[in-house]
Amino acid sequence: MLIHAITADPVYEFAADARTGLTKPGQKELPSKYLYDDVGSALFEVISVLPEYGLTRADERLLQRNASDIVARLPARVLVAELGSGTGKKTRWILRALCRRQHTSYFPIEISPAALAMCKRELGDMEAISIVGFEREYLDGLLEVAARRRPGDHLLVLFLGSTIGNFDRPAGCEFLHKVRGILQPGDSLLLGTDLEKPIPQLLDAYDDPLGVTSAFNLNLLARANRELDANFALEQFEHCVRFNPQARSIEMHLRSRRAQTVEIPRSALSVEFAEGETIWTESCHKFSAEEVRGLARATGFRCDSQWIDSEWPFAESLLIAE
C-alpha cells in the first residue's frame, strides 16, 4: 500500500525553492532533495556500486553482519519506520531478523513514489511483513506512523546511508531533536553515519572516473528543464567537488563554464551566471564515532551500541530515546 502526500503541487514547490536558492546572495543553491527524481534515483543506485563509493557497501555489510544483534537489543512489538528508504535493499537484513520473532509492520517514508515502488518490489517476497509506504517528507511521515501505534508498541526509526550528513551540523542536531520529539522514551533510532577518512579517498567517491556522479548532479538541471521549463544548457555546466575543512564535508557544485543567462519560466526567474560561478547542490558531512555519541546525548538519546566497518569507516549507532 502507498499513501500519497496531500501537499501543494510538487512542481510549484520546486519552482519556489529554485527561485529562493538561485537568488541567494553570494552562493547560489538548489536543495539536494531535488537530485532524487526517477532519473536521479536510478543514477544513485549505480553510484552505490561503484568501486570508489564504498559508503553503501559498508552500510549494508554492517546491517548484514549485525542485524541479529541489533534486533536482540530491541523490545517486543516493534514497528519500523524508515526515513528515506530508497529501494529497501539493505533494510532487508533488519526486517528479516525482526520477522523471525514477530509479524512486522514496515513503513518506508520517501518523497519519491518511484523509490517507494522499488522498495515494495524489493521486499514484497518477505513473509510475516506488512508494508505501507508514505510519500511524505521525513517528519510528516514519521508523525503519521507514530499516530498508528497501539499501546505497547515500540517504534524503531531507521535513518541509514549517512543521510544525516546532508544536513549541516546545527541543522542535523535540530532534525534529530525533532525526531526525538515524535518518539516515546524507549523508542529506537538506528543512525548511519559516514566517518572521516583521507580527503583524496572522499574526493574520488564523489567524482568517479566514469562520470556517473557527474551525470547524477547534472540531472538536477535537466530536471529543472523538464519540470520548470528552464533552458539550462547542460554542456555549459560541469560537476565539481570540494572538501570543506571547517565543516568536514564534501560539497557538490555545478560550475558554469562561461558567463550566461538561464531562463526559468515556472519560477518567473532569469538567472545570470558569471564564468566559474557555481550552484551548490549537496553537502555530505563526515563524523567521528565519538561525535555521533555526543550528538545522541545532545538530542535526547543515549547511544546503546555502535558498530563500525573496518573496510570503509562507517558507523551504525543504535540510539535509545531517553
Question: What digits encode the pLDDT tens for the residues 179-228?
Answer: 999 999 999 999 999 999 999 999 999 999 999 999 999 999 999 999 99
Rounded average pLDDT over 30-53 = 94
Is the domain of 100 the same as that of 146? Answer: yes
Report the length, in residues, of the chain: 322
Cell output for 236: 555549459
Residue 259 located in a structural domain:
yes
In a domain, 213, yes or no: yes
Whether 1 maps to a domain, the answer reads no
| Counted domains in the chain | 2
Residues 219 and 252 grouped into a single domain: yes
State whether 238 and 208 are in the same domain: yes
Are 300 and 316 in a shared domain? yes
**CATH number of the domain that residue 70 is part of:** 3.40.50.150
Rounded Cα distance between 17 and 198, Å, is 34
Considering the domain architecture, whether residues 159 and 231 belong to the same structural domain is answered as no
153 and 34 belong to one structural domain: no
| Cell numbers given for 36 | 532524487
Q: Contact, 175 vs 295, CB < 8 A?
A: no
* Residue in this structure with the C-alpha cell 566559474, named with its chain if needed: 276
- The answer on pLDDT for 8 being more than 70 is no
How wide is the angle at C-alpha 268 spanned by C-alphas 265 and 273, nearest 5°? 85
Take residue 123 and report the three cell numbers written for it. 521486499
Q: Is residue 2 very low, low, confident or very high in pLDDT (cuts 50, 70, 90)? A: low
Cell of 22: 538561485
Range of the domain at 43: 7-50+202-285
pLDDT tens digits, 282-293: 999 999 999 999
116 & 224 share domain? no
Please give the pLDDT value at position 86: 83
| Burial letters 51-70, b for 16+ CB under 10 A, else e | ebbbbbbbbbbbbeebbeeb
Residue 2 lies in a domain: no
* pLDDT for the residue numbered 112: 79
Check whether residue 225 and residue 275 sit in a common domain.
Answer: yes
Q: What is the pLDDT of residues 243-267, one digit of tens each?
A: 999 999 999 999 999 999 999 999 9
Average pLDDT value over all residues in the chain = 94
pLDDT-derived band at 115 (thresholds 50, 70, 90) equals confident
Tell me: do 163 and 301 sit in the same domain: yes
Scanning 85-205, the segments in alpha helix (DSSP H) are 91-99, 113-123, 138-147, 169-182, 199-205
143 shares a domain with 235: no
Q: What is the pTM of this model?
A: 0.93
pLDDT in tens, 73-96: 999 899 999 999 888 889 999 999
Same domain, 180 and 256: no
Q: What is the largest CA-CA distance in the chain?
A: 61
The beta strand positions in the chain, using DSSP E, are 2-3, 28-29, 78-83, 104-110, 129-131, 133-135, 154-159, 188-194, 237-244, 249-256, 260-264, 269-273, 278-285, 301-309, 314-321
Tell whether 279 and 292 lie within a shared domain. Answer: no
